[in-house]
Chains A and B, each alone.
Chain A
């Protein structure tokens, strides 16, 4: 089973995120960059499937030069090789454009599974698995909290509002996972050393056959008109329970006309 796993570099989860006033894209320069937390679960799942069924795991990202650090981390977790799609023309791409560029890059690789997480902590759109399945013309298994692979057949538990659906598809396919699926491993010292020797390839837009007129901020399919900081929440009151905490809360509810 050959797996391409997609990872994205995002501002550190706990950092205060901002938009850059000059172009209204996420300000990535001012904060630490990390692998999107949920993508670690996608990498872990890829490694688990490989361990059980054989094959090769390739990690792919589209992002600026510094994204290499994150690719090294994936390699040190045990991924076999890394591909970095990097080109100035891609900067500021919206989700629709990114799905096109990523699909083109995936097209240069051979895969049975394209594995990715449901959403990143910065964009939080939750649509990339669906967009990629549409672009690649392969089945979409998304929002998976459990995956079973049996030959070319894959069955997942897809989370729903009422519980879950058991969904089946045959490879090649797109598999989108959520963080309930596993517990990501930490890179070992051996893994970190081994990562230095693993192949890391760079792709330009041209290498991936990307039409640069279809990517980048200038032709993005949606644009930010303006943005403002939300008014901060007024500081609230915190009281210590002296045996009447419940009564005080009820008083607060009454004062706020919540009861």
Chain B
């Protein structure tokens, strides 16, 4: 069967859920080989998970050069593997790094790339949802090795054990790829809540919360629903919540089972990041707020009374 390369998305070696989604998708297209690119001795944390989700092989490249410079070294290794193994396709996550590595690899290998796919069929036709979810497009790569970046939450990850036979890849990064040096990695927040892009439930807050304290309400509701916390740009720019929680055109694109917008007007740039959520709910005191054009259920009212009541009511019913 044709080999499909899957670029492993990981944090300090531990694969993110989207990696398992990609491996599951890759199994429907051919034989998945994971490509692990990480710092020295980081592979140990990845091995079991990749085997559990059906990786046949794992190409392991470990070198601090891969972590110390922005994306270019990773693209070099991935492009080298594409040239050597001639896979039928390459899958990566539609994250910032995933897209940038995939894009550079496409240029290096003379390939075409399709980003933000929500599905890829066995004949390598990708499905994308564009223009805020209003148009569904089927596209195909016409040059080189088809490269796809796939949105998190597009495939349900299903375990199927595989041998995950490791094959070490020698890393020799060119000087040209060492142009952008990472001086420092700054962690701004480390919550115990689920990852925004991967969560089944997202509760987001906006300017209507009135200040950072208001986010306690959003967090309380998110926690009773086991969800992640998101924010509008108005809220992140005001410093009420970390920027990595921003949902929208320039933030995360999320597509959860349930999206709850609290004190968010629903500007087009915000909608671009949440419009394809399965069920959308909003609380806003302005009946004219554009967010209500999208909602399955909307409550016109003061969030400071509606949200606490909702949180209490859910606790009552689920305890």
Within 138-164 of A, Cβ neighbours of B (below 8 Å) are at 138-143, 145, 155, 158-164
Instruction: Please tell me if A38 contacts chain B, counting CB pairs below 8 Å.
Output: yes
Partner of A169, one of B133, B181, B287: B181
0/1 string, A194-235, CB within 8 A of B gives 1: 000000000000000000000000011111111111100110
0/1 string, A1-44, CB within 8 A of B gives 1: 00000000000011011110000100000000000001000000
CB distance from B110 to the nearest CB of A (A): 8
Q: Which of A46-54, A85-93, A238-246 is the contact stretch?
A: A238-246
Q: Is the CB of B306 within 8 A of A241?
A: yes
Q: Is the CB of A167 within 8 A of B180?
A: yes
Question: Which residues of A have CB within 8 Å of B313?
Answer: 246-247, 249-250
Mostly, the B contact residues are mixed
A230 to B132, CA, bound (A): 10
A163 to B129, CA, bound (A): 28
Q: Is the CB of A163 within 8 A of B134?
A: no
Question: Which residues of B have CB within 8 Å of A145?
Answer: 243
Q: Is the CB of B103 within 8 A of A131?
A: yes
Question: Which residues of A have CB within 8 Å of B237?
Answer: 180
Number of interface residues of A (CB under 8 A): 85
Q: Which of A58-66, A107-115, A118-126 is the contact stretch?
A: A118-126
Question: Which residues of A have CB within 8 Å of B225?
Answer: 258-259
Q: Is the CB of A163 within 8 A of B187?
A: yes
Partner of A224, one of B129, B137, B268, B295: B137
Closest to B95 in A: A161
0/1 string, B294-305, CB within 8 A of A gives 1: 111111111001
Query: Footprint of B on A, CB under 8 Å?
Result: 13-14, 16-19, 24, 38, 94-96, 99, 118-119, 121, 124-127, 129-131, 133-135, 137-143, 145, 155, 158-170, 173, 178-180, 219-230, 233-234, 236-241, 243-250, 252-254, 256, 258-259
- Determine which residue in B125, B133, B140, B310 has the highest number of CB atoms from chain A within 10 A of its CB, and name it: B310
Question: Which residues of B have CB within 8 Å of A241?
Answer: 299-302, 305-306
Closest to A170 in B: B179
**11 A–B contact pairs at CB < 8 A?**
A95-B113, A119-B250, A121-B272, A124-B272, A134-B103, A137-B176, A159-B96, A163-B244, A221-B111, A238-B298, A256-B296
A169 to B179, CA, bound (A): 6
Closest to B313 in A: A250
Q: Is the CB of A224 within 8 A of B138?
A: yes
Within 249-307 of B, Cβ neighbours of A (below 8 Å) are at 249-250, 257-258, 268-269, 272, 279-281, 283, 287, 292, 294-302, 305-307
Question: Which residues of A have CB within 8 Å of B249?
Answer: 119, 121, 124
CB distance from A116 to the nearest CB of B (A): 13
Closest to B104 in A: A134
Q: Is the CB of B281 within 8 A of A134?
A: no
- New contact pairs (13) apart from A236-B294, A259-B318, CB-CB < 8 Å: A13-B268, A96-B112, A125-B116, A130-B103, A131-B107, A141-B70, A142-B100, A162-B185, A168-B181, A222-B141, A241-B299, A246-B305, A246-B307
Question: Which residues of B have CB within 8 Å of A96?
Answer: 106-107, 111-113, 143
Question: Which residues of B have CB within 8 Å of A99?
Answer: 107
Closest to B186 in A: A163
CB distance from B265 to the nearest CB of A (A): 13
Question: Which residues of B have CB within 8 Å of A229?
Answer: 134-136
Q: Is the CB of B70 within 8 A of A258?
A: no
Q: Is the CB of A226 within 8 A of B298?
A: no
Question: Which residues of B have CB within 8 Å of A19?
Answer: 135, 137
Q: Is the CB of B188 within 8 A of A163?
A: yes
